[in-house]
Amino acid sequence: MSGPPPPSGPPPPPGYFEEDFGPRLLAIDCTLFGIAAVTTILRIYVRVFLLKMFGLDDWLMLTSMALATTTTALFIKVVTLGMGRHFDLSPMPNPHAFLLANIGDYFKYLYVYAILIIFAYSSIKLSIGFFLLRLADRTQWRTFLICVLVFLVAFTIGSTMAIIFQCIPVRAAYDLALKPPFGTARCYPLTTFKTIGVINSAINIFTDALFALLPLPLVFKLTLPLRTKLGLSFCMALGLFATATAIYKTPMHWYYVWQQVEMNVGITAANLPTLKPLFARWFTGLRTRVEGYAYGRSAPSTLQSGLKGNGYLKAGEGKGEGSFALSSLAKRRDGEVEWAKRGAGDSDESILRLEQGVGMGRESGRKGGIVRTTDVVIRR
């Protein structure tokens, strides 16, 4: 909702009341909401079907996504009621302007929105906090994280109470007819309301920055490849963008869209680190196809007879049995051929075609032997 032109000033320029920021607001919000929803669905897939585990941080992220869905629906509703359009206080208002007849419903939806957005922010941060607790187990950061999480719960309750009981009776918060000079309701003075808003913003900025930067010392203490550490740190540091949006909020309609941006970016940034198993599998499959295709074009004819499609070898081909794509197929310098299959489960298998006298251990004397290697991952 944009403010009216000064009553005593010159008339508004042509097309002033036809100006509508609503479609632009919805395009930004719905795009980021869609990205957040997709990353949440992928997170659930990874946790349930790949890792076979679903923790408290995942439940909190589901709660965040449910709240994000609700706030997005409320945001769409207030846009249809007039957010992004100009007031017209003239006796014959322009039909494209914000209609005063909608102002009651407008503030009622915004009142509910303001309460739910607090819970959405907090559930995102709590989800990140419980995720970090796994990394901070038996470290000096664990007690600090627990204190931060307790503070966040208390802060959420206090902020919610401040919004709900900003007026007595409560209904006066969204019913302008009950506020002075039309009614007798008692509400926060404007200065008090601004002070509460500044304090809330400061705490939100601090906690956003904290959860974006705190993973860095935790991740770099893990026994992981440097590339993995950098990737995880980058994903978690995306929360700094949410911090920037918390700082940069402009009045009225752009203020609310920046709230939506902060929430959806926060969800996306919190989900990305959990998708590493999915990305690893996808890139492994892509590499398999590239290597298989490259070998299929350059392999000798004696080997190409066993290849189909883009250079894949499949077990039980032509027999109706299960099959798998090979992660690599390469010709050695001494004429031996080796290929490997990366399994879809938690372990990796390598199936090697060995020439007689070449192998490992007891398999070294067997021609065409099969060697199975299993990676054991211990999760705490």
pLDDT digits (tens, 9 = 90+) for 33-72: 999 999 999 999 999 999 999 999 999 999 999 999 999 9
Quickly list H helices, the chain.
Answer: 22-45, 56-81, 103-135, 141-164, 190-213, 215-219, 226-237, 239-247, 253-271, 276-298, 301-304
Mean pLDDT score of the chain: 75
Contacts 24+ apart (CB under 8 A), 176-180: 176/103, 176/104, 176/107
CB 337, CB 303: distance < 8 Å: yes
pLDDT digits (tens, 9 = 90+) for 190-237: 888 888 878 888 888 888 888 888 877 777 777 677 777 777 677 666
pTM value?
Answer: 0.69
**What pLDDT, on the 0 to 100 scale, is given for residue 239?**
66
In the chain, what percentage of residues exceed pLDDT 70?
A: 65
**What pLDDT, on the 0 to 100 scale, is given for residue 378?**
56
Of residues 290 and 12, the one with the higher pLDDT is 12
Phi-psi region of 357 (alpha: psi -120 to 50; beta: other; left: phi over 0): left
Of residues 85 and 368, the one with the higher pLDDT is 85
Cβ neighbour number for residue 227 with a 10 Å cutoff? 8
CB 102, CB 53: distance < 8 Å: no
CA 141, distance to chain mean position in Å, is 24
Looking from the CA of 191 toward its CB, the CA atoms found within 13 Å total 0
Q: Is the peptide bond before 169 cis (omega within 30 degrees of 0)?
A: yes
CB 269, CB 242: distance < 8 Å: yes
- pLDDT band at 290, cuts 50/70/90? low
Cβ neighbour number for residue 70 with a 10 Å cutoff? 16
DSSP codes, 244-283:
HHHH---STHHHHHHHHHHHHHHHHHHHGGGGHHHHHHHH
CATH architecture for the domain at 22-279: Up-down Bundle (1.20)
Bridge-based pairing of strands 337-340 and 328-331 is antiparallel
In this predicted structure, the answer to whether residue 27 has a pLDDT above a threshold of 70 is: yes
Query: Where is mean pLDDT largest: 143-157, 270-284, 338-352?
Result: 143-157
pLDDT digits (tens, 9 = 90+) for 74-103: 999 999 999 988 888 777 788 888 888 889
> Of 345, 340, 344, which is closest to residue 329 (Cα–Cα)?
340
Domain assignments of the chain as residue spans, ordered by start: 22-279, 300-380
Contacts 24+ apart (CB under 8 A), 144-151: 145/214, 148/207, 148/210
Spatial CB neighbours of 155, under 8 Å, sequence gap ≥ 6: 122, 203
- pLDDT band at 111, cuts 50/70/90? very high
Q: Which range has the worst mean pLDDT, 53-67, 173-187, 278-292?
A: 278-292
**What pLDDT, on the 0 to 100 scale, is given for residue 289?**
60
pLDDT digits (tens, 9 = 90+) for 304-351: 444 333 333 333 434 444 433 434 444 444 444 444 444 333 333 333
- pLDDT band at 135, cuts 50/70/90? confident
In this predicted structure, the answer to whether residue 293 has a pLDDT above a threshold of 70 is: no
Query: Where is mean pLDDT largest: 2-6, 291-295, 303-307?
Result: 291-295
In this predicted structure, the answer to whether residue 131 has a pLDDT above a threshold of 50 is: yes
> Of 120, 154, 155, which is closest to residue 270 (Cα–Cα)?
120
Read off the DSSP letter of residue 309.
Answer: T
Angle at the Cα of 206 (from 205 to 209), degrees rounded to 5?
A: 85
Query: Where is mean pLDDT largest: 10-14, 136-140, 262-266?
Result: 262-266
> Of 75, 79, 45, which is closest to residue 62 (Cα–Cα)?
45
- pLDDT band at 108, cuts 50/70/90? very high
In the chain, what percentage of residues exceed pLDDT 90?
A: 34
In this predicted structure, the answer to whether residue 266 has a pLDDT above a threshold of 80 is: yes
CB 298, CB 338: distance < 8 Å: no
pLDDT digits (tens, 9 = 90+) for 344-361: 333 333 333 333 333 444
pLDDT digits (tens, 9 = 90+) for 152-177: 999 999 999 999 999 999 999 999 89
In this predicted structure, the answer to whether residue 375 has a pLDDT above a threshold of 70 is: no
111 — phi, psi (to 5°)? -65, -45
Q: How far apart are CA 111 and CA 10, in angstroms?
A: 34
Spatial CB neighbours of 213, under 8 Å, sequence gap ≥ 6: 237, 240
